[in-house]
Amino acid sequence: MSRRPTTRTLETVRDASGQVTSQVRRTQLSSGLRIVTEHMAGARSASIGVWVGVGSRDESTTTHGASHFLEHVLFKGTGERSALDISIALDAVGGEFNAFTAKEYTCFHARVLSDDLPLAVDVLGDMVTSSLVAPHDVDAERDVILDEIAMHDDDPDDVVQNLLAELAWGAQSPLGRPIAGTTESIEAMTPAQIRRFYRRHYVPGNTVISVSGAVDHGAVVKAIRKSFARQGWLEAEAAPGDPRGSRRRPKVSAGTAQVDRPFEQVNLVIGREGLTRDDERRYALGVLNTALGGGTSSRLFQEVREHRGLAYSVYSFASHYADSGLVGVAVGCLPDRREEVLDVVRGELDKIAGSGITADELARGKGQLVGGMILGLEDSASRMMRLGKNELVYGDVLGLDDVIGRIEGVTLEDVRAVAAEIFSRPELLAVVGPA
């Protein structure tokens, strides 16, 4: 069955005079590669992200850390370009150029002046399709990653968040393990394993490219079809992979985990099992999270910091994955404040579980979420992130008006119900600090 490229317009925004201020278009190539662009009137920059649907949760015990390792190795060179050539290309034009690996995806991204976009497309296409994954490069990069792991190990926030994930999903579960791997798994990883991982996951059907800014959709598609055609990469015929989400919901454990470290502060995260990424209650949870610990007017900031001076940093968060999620409160405090902090935070969680939030908090939470979203739209990089992540994890770009409508539609009862459900679940407590 031959598939032809298909292109459609997803969203067009016009100003009061009818001029198009932004337009989102999507092309799917016969290889399954998806390209989503957003033209922003008046922009001078362009941001591009190559999103590959692979992350630490796709790793086995023996490939633990392979997604992140591979992300590093892709900067080490191709048949056309050495590592230095890759670095020079984007440094020379002042572009920002980086990558990150998460539990469910890997992203390579650049922000450049729009005239330099073809250069960025060319370098990224070369890296993604034609990395050499040379054994001596793998070995040099292994040492860099071991040092990066040591760096994360010196960061109390990273240590406590990794501990929470391990407590929630277990050290044997991919979701429960640190993204970068462990010293043991990285020391044991062979170039052949990394090469197999690369060939298996870096395929067009598992990839989305998002581009925003002063860009023309047709020109971007043309440049990508040229650059990513290297090594016959676009010749496969395939449908894009389905978004994750069909799998069984992993069990989330409760209880306490503590790691003794000679830090000055103790870092705590008090968590609960949360919502999956496609749970419709996530908008209500967003408003709840904002009222609970999303800004300086939030209950936790007011109670923990403003009234009691217990901690400099206190906030709540909600993380969503295809089939699981966590909600939590993170606090760093002096060790002798630990019990008081726990009492105050637990008291606030009980209160919000029992009676939800006020009408004022509902209105403010919505204003904060919607205002923050609109402020984020001025920047080509944040638009690129929105497009790429949406297309990859939902198989679609959620319209801004639609998202705003769903936030505005959240009721007090929606928030009360989600608060009552989540905060009546068993507590997870992760603690890092002096014994």
Residues 353 to 412 in contact with a copy of itself, rule: CB under 8 A: 363-364, 367-375, 377-380
Q: How far apart are CB 256 and a copy of itself at their closest, in Å?
A: 21
Residue (186 or 393) nearer to a copy of itself, CB: 186
Q: Which parts of 167-265 are beta strand (E)?
A: 207-213, 255-260
- The correct pick among 11, 13, 23, 83 for binding a copy of itself (CB under 8 A) is 83
Q: Nearer to a copy of itself by C-beta: 144 or 236?
A: 144
Given a contact cutoff of 8 angstroms between Cβ atoms, the answer to whether 20 and 41 are in contact is: yes
Stretch that binds a copy of itself, among 134-142, 194-202, 280-288, 387-395 (CB under 8 A): 134-142
Cβ contact 125:35 at 8 Å: no
Closest separation between CB of residue 392 and a copy of itself, Å? 25
Non-local (6+) Cβ contacts of 413 within 8 A are: 356
Among the residue ranges 54-62, 150-158, 230-238, 405-413, the one whose residues contact a copy of itself (CB under 8 A): 150-158
When the beta carbons of 177 and 305 are compared against a copy of itself, the nearer one is: 305
Segment contacting a copy of itself by CB under 8 A, of 30-38, 135-143, 278-286, 385-393: 135-143
Q: What are phi and psi of 104, to 5 degrees?
A: -120, 0
- Considering the complex, what minimum distance in angstroms separates the CB of residue 182 from a copy of itself? 13
| Rg of the chain, C-alpha, whole Å | 23
Question: How far is it, in rounded angstroms, from Cα 19 to Cα 40?
Answer: 12
Give, as one character, the DSSP assignment of residue 422.
H
**Based on CB atoms, which residue is closest to a copy of itself, 136 or 249?**
136
Token look-up 């406590």 returns 160
In the complex, least distance from residue 345 CB atom to a copy of itself, rounded to whole angstroms = 15
Query: Is 303 a residue of the active site?
Result: no
Q: Which amino acid is at 418?
A: V
- One-letter amino acid at 363 equals A
Helices (H), 54-116: 66-73, 83-91
3-state SS track over 348-385: HHHHHHHHCCCHHHHHHHHHHHHHHHHHHCCCHHHHHH
In angstroms, what CA-CA distances link 150 with 154, 159, 183, 201, 337? 6, 11, 9, 27, 28
**Cα dist. 102→58, 162, 384, 397 in Å?**
11, 13, 17, 20
Q: In the range 296-315, which residues lie near a copy of itself by CB under 8 A?
A: 296-298, 301-302, 305-313
CA terminus-to-terminus distance, the chain: 63
Per CB under 8 A, the segment of 6-14, 138-146, 197-205, 390-398 that binds a copy of itself is 138-146
Q: What mask, x for binding a copy of itself by CB under 8 A, covers residues 180 to 219?
A: ----------------------------------------
Judged by CB under 8 A, the stretch of 93-101, 124-132, 245-253, 398-406 that binds a copy of itself is 93-101
Helix (H, G, I), strand (E, B) or coil at 10: strand
Residues touching a copy of itself, count (CB under 8 A): 76
Q: Using the rule CB under 8 A, is 92 a contact of a copy of itself?
A: yes
Which of 29, 33, 74, 112: binder of a copy of itself (CB under 8 A)? 112
Q: Exactly one of 71, 104, 141, 391 is catalytic; which is it?
A: 71
271 residue type, one letter: G
Among 6, 12, 154, 350, binds a copy of itself (CB under 8 A): 154
315, β-bridge pairs: 330
**Judged by CB, which is closer to a copy of itself: 31, or 210?**
210
* 45-64 binders of a copy of itself (CB under 8 A): 45
Footprint of a copy of itself on 233-262 (CB under 8 A): 262
Closest CA to 60 of 201, 177, 184, 152: 177
By CB under 8 A, tell whether 80 contacts a copy of itself: no
Which positions are catalytic? 71
